[in-house]
Structure formats: C-alpha cells, structure tokens
Amino acid sequence: MTDYKETLNLPQTDFQMKARLSQKEPEMLKKWEEAGLYDKIKEAGKDRPKYILHDGPPYANGHIHLGHALNKTLKDIVVKSRTMSGFSAEYVPGWDCHGLPIELQVEKKFKEKKKELGKTAVRKACREYANKFVSIQRDEFKRLGIFGEWENPYLTMNYGYQAAILSELGRFVEEGLVYKGKKPVHWCSSCSTALAEAEVEHAEKTSPSVYVRFEAVSIEFSKAIMEDGVKTAAFLGAEDIPISVIIWTTTPWTLPANLAIAVHPDVSYSTVRITLHGHEEIWVLATDLVESTMDKFGIENYSIVNSAPGSLLEGIVCKHPFVARESVVRTANFVTTEAGTGCVHIAPGHGQDDYEVGLKHGLEVYAPVDNNGLFTSDVPEFEGQFVFKANNGIIELLEEKGMLIKTEEVSHSYPHCWRCKKPVIFRATAQWFVAMDDDSRLRERALKAISEEVEWVPGWGKERIYGMIEKRPDWCLSRQRVWGVPIPALICSGCSNAFLDKGLINSLGKRFEESGADIWFERPLEELLPEGLKCPECNGTEFEREEDILDVWFDSGVSFSAVLERRENLSNPADLYLEGSDQHRGWFHSSILASIATRKVPPYKSVLTHGFVVDGKGRKMSKSDGNVIAPEQIIEKYGVEVLRLWVAAEDYRDDIRVSEEILKRLSEAYRRIRNTFRYILGNISDFNPETDSVQFNELEELDRLTLHRLNGITEKVLSAYEKFEFHTIYHTVHNFCTVDLSAFYLDILKDRLYTSGTKGKSRRAAQTTIYYVLDSLVRLLAPVLVFTTEEAWAFLPGKREASVHLAAMPTVNADWVNNELDEKWRGLSAFKDEISKALEGARVEKIIGHPLDAFVSVVPGEADTEKLKEVEALLVSVLIVSGLCVTDGTEAPKETEASFSFVSEEIPGLKVTVTKAPGGKCERCWHYSESVGTQTGHATICDRCVEALA
C-alpha cells in the first residue's frame, strides 16, 4: 500500500517557528560586527544622495530607559528605511557630556575632598565618569540593533568639540550678541549656583504671606490730571488722613530690595476708608478684592470712597516701610487680581516680572543678597542672615513699624533646586547673556526661520517652539560650575571691566583642539593671553580670568558646527532632527538660536517629535509609582524585535503607552508575522526563482490578485516610511499577513502547493507568487524587524545581497495593478463570507467537520447567477470545499442527504444549502470525489491525484 502522504509537497524549512530572540539577537549582532556590516552599508551608499539625520546627544549619565530606546529606534527606522530607499544615511551618534548632573555625581564621590582637589581633578573625574556611561549606553544602544558609527561618536567633551564650542562663542561675540549683565536668575544658595530653568523643579512649600502698607508721601505725581480730567488726588479723596497702598507678598525677605509697586493699568482700584484701632486710614487696592481682603483682615467698618483704573495711580510716591527710600507706583500688565491686593511689591533684583518693570522704569537691579543667600551689609538690620530665616525678623520689623496688616502661612508651588531639593531664590547676579532683542534681532530672525524655513512634524510643533522663542528672556550663558567649557572672559584688574576678546578666543581654540578646555583652568593666565592684550576700557594689562563655564545647552546647541560641518561624511543643515517634544525648549531651541545667530539659517530642514513613554493607563513612569518598565526587562522576556515592533506599532506623535498587555499582544503579532515568513519559506524550499519562476501573465487569477494586493501594501508602506508614519506600516503588514495571506490566499493555496505536481505549472505559479510576497515583506519590514528579516533573508532563495540591510526597498510594480480583479474579488468575498456562515451552521449541526466534507449549493437570488456560475470552480477552491454548484433554485439539493440551509441577511435572496459531499474521501488530497475507487492501481485516491502523481 502506497503511503500517499509521502507524495505530497509539504512545507519544509529550518527557519524555526520559535524565535528565541533574546538568545539569537546577540549572535546576529556579533555576526554583523564581524562582517563590518555598517561599513559595507556606508561603502554601498557612497555615491548616493545624502540623507542626514543628526543625532541629538543623550546625557552621559545612567543607563538607558525606554524613552532612549524609543528615540534611538525611531531614528534607526528612519536611517534604515532611507538607506534602503536609495540614500546614503550615515548615522553619527553623540553624547552630551558636560554639566551639573555629572559634576554632582562626582562631587558625591569626593565629598569634602572636592575643595582640596581643585578644578582639574574634578574635571578629570567628570570626564572619566562621562566616558564610563558613554560606554555603557553605547552597548545598550547597540543591543537595540541600532546601526551607526559607534566607534566614532561625537562627545561634547572631545577636544575638537570643545574647540568648536569656543569658536561658536567667538562668533556670538563677533556678532555683538554677548553681554555681561545683572539679572535675576534662579539661584540655589545651598549649591551657590545659578540654575537654568531646566534645573528647577516645582514643589509645595510653606511660606509666610504678608500684607503690608506702603504709605503715600506725596500725591503730587506726574499724571496728576488724567485724560478724563479726573484728578488722581480727587480719586484718593485726599483729606488729612494717611493713605497707603496695600501690597501682598509671600517673600517678605525681598522687601528690603523693594523699589516700586506695580498695579495693572486697566484693573479697577478703589480707595477704601477704614477704621482701625479707633483711627481712620485710606487704603488702596483692587476693587474686586476689597471685600475678600477686608474679610481676611477682619475689618468690618470700611467704605469705598472712590474707584478708578490703575493707570490713574501711576506715579504715587510711597515710603518704604522700613528703609529710608521711596517706592513709586508703576503699571504693569502681569499684575492679576487672582490673589493678594492687586498691588504688587517690586524688587527688580529678585524676580523676573519685577526685573522687567525695573528695566522699563530705569530702576536699579538691586539684590543685597550674597552667593550663600545671606543679606549683605547693604541691609544692616539683617546682615549675614539667611534670607528665608530673615523672614521672621522682617515681619517683626514691619509689625514694629506699624506697617504689617496681616500675616499668615500659605502653602504654594515654589521653585526648588533639582539637585539638593531646597527652595531656590531669585537673585540678580552678574552673568553672561545672549541678547535676544538688540540690533541683531536674534529673536525676530529665529521666529521667522521657525515659521518659514522649517517643516515641523507634527505641525503643532511650530506653534510650540514659536511661543517659547517668542517669550523667552535673554539666554543666560554662564554657570558658576566646574564641569564644562569655560567662558574665557577677562576681568581687568585695573577697572574691573569684564570682557571677551576675539583674539584670545581664537588662540585658545587652537589649544583646546590639542589639549582640551582644561588648560583655561590649569595654565597660568599670562601663558594663554595674546601678546599686547589691553583692557578695552582702561588699556590696563593686568587681568584675572573668568571662572564661569558655559550653559550645556550651548554645547549641544552648536553640534551642527561641531559635528555636521566638521565631519566629511555629513553636512549642514541636517535633513532631520528627531527628539522628544521636550526638546522644543531644549535642543531644537538652542540649536536654532545658535545657528541663526552665527549662520543666519536653521540647522535643520525638518524636525520630528515624539511623545513620552507612559504606562498602560497613560500616566508617566516614575520610580515612586513603581510603574517603570526598563528596556532590559522587555529585551530579556521578548527580545529587541518586540521592543522595536512596539516602537513601530504605536503612533509616536502622541504619548506612547507600554504595558505587559501591550507587549504580549505585540509578541503575538510578531509570531504571526514570523509564521507567515516561515510558512512561505517552507513552501519555496524547492524553488529556484531563476529557473522555476512563472511569467506574471501566466499566473493564476488568485496569484495575480495577491500580487496586486502586495503592490497595494508596498505602496502604502513606502509612503508611510516617507512620511514617518510608522504605525501604519505595522498595521498594514500585519493585516496583510493575517487577512489576505493566512486566512485567504495561503489557506487556499495549500491544495495547490501540497497536492499538485511538484514541478507543475500550477505549483510553480503559486511558488512564484509567494516568493515575491516574502521577498517584498522582508525588505519592507527590515527597518523595523532588523533581526528577523535578516534571518529570513538568509533562507530566501535566489541571488541577493549579503544582508537585507544592504538591499533596496521593493518597488511598486505597475504591471501588477489590476483594479478590475480587485473589484471582482471584493464582491466575491461577500459571497464567501455568507457561504462560510452556512458552512458554520452545517458544522454546528454535525453535518460536516472540515469544509472539505461539504458540498455547497448556492442560489444567488437577486445576484447575477450567470456571473457567479462562471466562478464556480474558483469558489470551490476559495471555500476549500469538495464541491459547489450555483443554481437558479429550480433543482432542489438531494433530499436523501442531511442538509443545512441558510438564507443570507446581507445579500438579498441568497440561499446556501450545505450537504455532505458525495463520493469517497481521497486519501491523498482529502477532497471527496466520485472518482475515488475508480482509479486503477490507486483505489483510495481521486483522479486529480492520480494525474498529479503521473
């Protein structure tokens, strides 16, 4: 007896169903490395047009988290897809190495020894620390399958990079953009340093809240008579009663620095006559706040004398509550009536808004507080006291002077130092600044470039960064820190003038290039100075060096110069910057300012942003909430491939969720794709595309339909790569694998592949088709599933490049387009669905099990019987039944058989009857056929199989 199973062409392949990704991925990486794959990709692209994705440098501190993985994987997908689409897309990764966090880590290690060791030792330790994490992160990134110049990355602490930073600073100086000024900045008195916005965290703090009287000493002000003819004096109801403007503040310690009082010009203010402790006074405050404030003060006996807009109050001269100084009422738009009295105490040296009011009215930027937050001798009463501690004394003093109306405690959001977590103060200090609005109109030019010269993806990125640049203050470049590139300014010993000299910057640049920026701190100053250098103010020749270093945003902001312009394989501007949306204030921001200031053009043509990784509920990940998932966990459990699929599957323009469920779903989707690969590979193991391919026009109908559909998804996927819409790639391909291939084409194809003649045209046509399908799918997915596609690539027959990553994307084949066919099958699949329902009914009734047990009678009803009749044979194979006939319903099915009838609700009049198929079951192809038993020499198989065996 023949074992007919042996005569079938069943799938055969060593491409494993089980991926074992976490083991195999590192092996693949090693293989790539040994083969020098990245260099080969570079070499292959040397004559192609460039596509430059410029890497934003992550900070060289700590291990990578999912945010890093997301960002770098997205970049890798861009680079790989552009490479496969005919570009040379070299990727040079970088790291941000200077800055406070590393310095603090090192400081922690040194503890008290820091001061003895000096700057050089600290800087050396910082460099080592940064190097250590560059190395750690590099390995972690490589593990993600990211291709790039890992052995030659850019580090902002490299000597060449440091020299570039200095040279860019020189250009800023040359453009006249850099000035030294006094300005209130966030100041941490504990760390003795100015803090960047980014270095400030907001947290709840309890502060004293005080209401203070500022007595008016003169009502002979400049605007005594207003346009409406109302005398301010009249508004004040000037009588022989003391008049006070009432202010509210939660920082009593800034009162010694008070220089003015601000009111909103358009807000209504009232003069309120009150009786307190038996005598009368007139108080001025915002009309809307009178009632609540009086309530708070417990004053019941009051009456509003008069009301007028704040603009009328401008110029009232008040007496400082305890310092012999005047404080004048000014108008400002930032004033609100949400809290307090609508009259705001102004200390230009201690607040941003205050500073701006002061600037407008020519007030001194006065801040009698030293680096450690202690009052200076300017405030004798509190000299040497820490400002927050002095609050109490100041309140007592106010009380004593009879100026305090009310004091209480409030809890509010207050800025804190990100490092020591202590509350910070606003304090005016001498800093180097980049002017946003001077003659060179940096702000204006940057805004113009943002709206006209850069493509922002998603589009709202434009509004976001525009708003930020529009409102940002001058760029404070200096940091009173150690680990960074020095601002090589000189301070004249003769006249104390601080200045930046272009000649010095130039000559230093060369030395930085050779020996690094450390020399500024290490070498004697005389050795560094150009000959004959004189103070531009007093011609003095004795100098001291500036100790401040540059803001690290300046470091990374000039990467277009340090990296794009300086590397032969790159060029400026870049095609794309791709970072998280926080970089609208970070790197995108500093980069465009730096580039506009020095090159007049933006450093990027387009900017793509992604959202943040959040947990399954959409909440941010934090250690304290315990919802953090580390890349490692995912890699160990599922493999990098699933992590990459996650990056590709989610719409990154929004926040990106990750959870165990999401990963589980994705790993299942991965298996589906992998199985599709495997199934096709199994069925083309005996197929040689060069010799066995069937011409397109000789393919069968379903083959051509499938290639038409493949064409469709190819077009869609290529366009999605082009437009950076990666999640549609995943959905498109997954859907194609599941719906068009697995549940339709491949399922139908089994009969042809397994049972027909091994070398017959029908089988070869099927193989030709699925070969095309797999070849395309593997290429299309290579940028995402970097390992799996490479694995499949090696199994694919035919001549091909050594690696899928050296291959090109498939092209859309115009010859394959057949919309008529597509249309036809769209209609037929509706019939297929309905007949499937009938089969399911028959299955429930136990008439059939497998569809091949069935014979189907179709009465089309209102549908076109003739047309359906034509595709009878196709429907048999599509439904995988043993027989099907389309009739007009006049011939009833054989009554002897058990049958199941189904009337369609979807297709009017369609009636389907399912019966057990007649004849015997062919042992070989499992179809039922009347021919079984009639074949000589083959008693148990059908005529079709006999023919196949011939």
User: Binders of RNA among 482-521, rule CB under 7 A?
Assistant: none
Per DSSP, the residues of 640-708 read HHHHHHHHHHS-TTS-EE--HHHHHHHHHHHHHHHHHHHHHHHHSTT--HHHH---GGGS-HHHHHHHH
- Sole binder of RNA in the list 707, 923, 932, 948 (CB under 7 A): 923
**Contact flag: residue 728 with RNA (CB under 7 A):** yes
- Sole binder of RNA in the list 158, 307, 352, 813 (CB under 7 A): 352
**Which C-beta is closer to RNA: that of 29 or that of 469?**
469
Residues 221-260 close enough to bind RNA by CB under 7 A: none
**Which C-beta is closer to RNA: that of 133 or that of 652?**
652
Least distance from C-beta 834 to RNA, angstroms? 8
Which H or E run includes 628?
none
Residues 2-31 close enough to bind RNA by CB under 7 A: 4-5, 8, 10-11, 17-18
Burial 869-887 (b: 16+ CB within 10 A, else e): eebeebbbebbbbbbbebb
Size of the site for RNA (CB under 7 A): 83
**Contact flag: residue 463 with RNA (CB under 7 A):** yes
**Which C-beta is closer to RNA: that of 22 or that of 659?**
659
Burial 235-268 (b: 16+ CB within 10 A, else e): bbeeeeeebbbbbbbbbbbbbbbbbbbbbbbebb
Amino acid at 882: S
Residues 791-850 close enough to bind RNA by CB under 7 A: 833, 836-837, 839-840, 843-844, 849-850
- For residue 225, the 8-state DSSP code is B
**Contact flag: residue 665 with RNA (CB under 7 A):** yes
**Contact flag: residue 742 with RNA (CB under 7 A):** yes
Dump strand ranges (E) for 104-239.
154-155, 178-188, 193-195, 200-218
Residues 330-349 close enough to bind RNA by CB under 7 A: 338
- Sole binder of RNA in the list 41, 247, 746, 786 (CB under 7 A): 746
> What's the number of CA atoms in the CB half-sphere (13 Å) around residue 216?
27
Q: How far is CA 24 from the centre of its chain?
A: 30
Amino acid at 30: K
End-to-end Cα separation, the chain, in angstroms: 17
Q: How far is CA 487 from the centre of its chain?
A: 31
Helix crossing, 100-110 with 113-143: angle to 10°?
A: 120
**Contact flag: residue 755 with RNA (CB under 7 A):** yes
Strand partners, 211: 248, 406
**Which C-beta is closer to RNA: that of 197 or that of 930?**
197
Go through the chain and tell me how many residues it has: 950
The three-state secondary structure class of 834 is helix
- Sole binder of RNA in the list 676, 706, 714, 929 (CB under 7 A): 676
Least distance from C-beta 898 to RNA, angstroms? 15
Least distance from C-beta 617 to RNA, angstroms? 7
Nearest to 162 by CA among 458, 514, 644, 425: 514
**Which C-beta is closer to RNA: that of 88 or that of 756?**
756
Residues 579-638 close enough to bind RNA by CB under 7 A: 580-582, 584-585, 611-612, 614, 616, 618-620
**Which C-beta is closer to RNA: that of 153 or that of 580?**
580
**Contact flag: residue 210 with RNA (CB under 7 A):** no
- Sole binder of RNA in the list 43, 128, 174, 747 (CB under 7 A): 747
Nearest to 492 by CA among 550, 539, 548: 539
> What's the number of CA atoms in the CB half-sphere (13 Å) around residue 557?
26
**Contact flag: residue 916 with RNA (CB under 7 A):** no
Least distance from C-beta 156 to RNA, angstroms? 19
Burial class (CB in 10 A: 0-12, 13-18, 19+), 84: buried
- Sole binder of RNA in the list 202, 360, 401, 421 (CB under 7 A): 202
Least distance from C-beta 567 to RNA, angstroms? 29
- Yes or no: say if 697 and 689 are a contact pair by the CB < 8 Å rule: no
**Contact flag: residue 939 with RNA (CB under 7 A):** no
- Sole binder of RNA in the list 393, 494, 682, 827 (CB under 7 A): 682
**Which C-beta is closer to RNA: that of 618 or that of 798?**
618
- Sole binder of RNA in the list 750, 761, 800, 824 (CB under 7 A): 750
**Contact flag: residue 919 with RNA (CB under 7 A):** no
**Which C-beta is closer to RNA: that of 82 or that of 610?**
610
Site string for RNA, 845-874 (x = CB under 7 A): ----xxx-----------------------
